[in-house]
Amino acid sequence: MKRLITIPLAVVLCLPFGMAAAGDEAETIKQAVLAPQEAGWARHDFKTYMSQWADKAQIVIARGEKPGKYDTVFNRKQIEATRQLLMQDKPAQNHKITFANVKVTVDGNEAELRLRSTLAVGEDYQIADEIFQLRKTSTGWKVQVNRGWLIKAKFGKAVITYDADTWKKLDEDADQLLKSDRRGDKTVQALLLAVRFQEAHALAKKITVRKDVTAADWAQRGQAAMDAGDAGDAVAAFRQALKLDKNAAVSPFARK
């Protein structure tokens, strides 16, 4: 199974819309989320992307709508640090982001926006459901929490539908490797595929203190760090990988 596309779950404007709330307020809320998302992920306009987030905003990378033990939560500092790295360069020409099934509900100064987003990189893609919870402030509507979870993905020839059976199988694979994989690198990959990012990062850090550590180990730690929200460790790990092998598979920002 190939590695998940790691650009965070995000969206770009694509008509038609389905609205649960009517009128100007719903349109304002929609634009408060979709315009910055489009700016960030379609054009890598980092400043505009960050304008949507409240001071104490969170992104939750999850397996479903309900809270789960493998939820990975980024605070606003982590959102800013990881996105600033990812948006340093122009997006690839074959990078496309769309959304559908947009629904907005408003309750006074609180609002919720739901949608289904699709991120495509060439022929590969990932589809996710997302919920944005917003609050009206003196400077407009701001996102307090963005929760997203995978629905379907295509990586090369493999097409994966994420349901209870899929998550069970991914967990079984990761748990089996935790018992049998002495070196641990295969386990890190399995944990990343299972969206168990904190575990993957913790294990990757243990691997990189071994005497036989490789450039690939450091590159894997960098990826796990980004997925876990530790931008500083990601940069340091990727740079260490490049010291050992200038051709190491690292994120583009690490070569700056």
pLDDT for 239 equals 97
Mean pLDDT for back-to-back runs of 10 residues, the chain (256 residues) = 45 35 82 92 93 98 97 98 94 82 96 94 93 97 98 94 97 97 96 98 97 97 98 98 96 89
- Compute the C-alpha angle 193/251/203, nearest 5°: 45
- What is the structure's pLDDT at 12? 31
pLDDT of residue 247: 95
pLDDT tens digits for 101-151? Answer: 999 999 999 999 999 999 888 899 999 999 999 999 999 999 999 999 999
Six-digit token pair at 19? 């609205």
Other Cβ atoms closer than 10 A to 66: 9
> What's the pLDDT score for residue 14?
33
Region 163-255: CATH code:
1.25.40.10
| Predicted pLDDT of residue 96 | 81
b/e map 231-252, b = 16+ CB within 10 Å: bebbbbbbebbbeeeeebebbe
- The residue behind tokens 């609180």 is 110
d(CA 140, CA 52): 9
How many Å apart are CA 103 and CA 120, to the nearest integer?
22
CB 109 within 8 A of CB 132: no
Contact 222, 254 (CB under 8 A): yes
Which pLDDT belongs to residue 120? Answer: 86
Domain boundaries of the chain, sorted by first residue: 24-158, 163-255
Q: What is the pLDDT of residue 92?
A: 74
CB-CB contact of 153 with 160 (8 Å): yes
Task: Tokens for 119, please give them.
Answer: 């991120």
Give me the CATH code for the 24-158 domain, please: 3.10.450.50
Q: Are 128 and 41 in contact (CB under 8 A)?
A: no
Place of tokens 């965070």: 8
Total-model pTM: 0.88
69: part of which helix (H) or strand (E)?
none
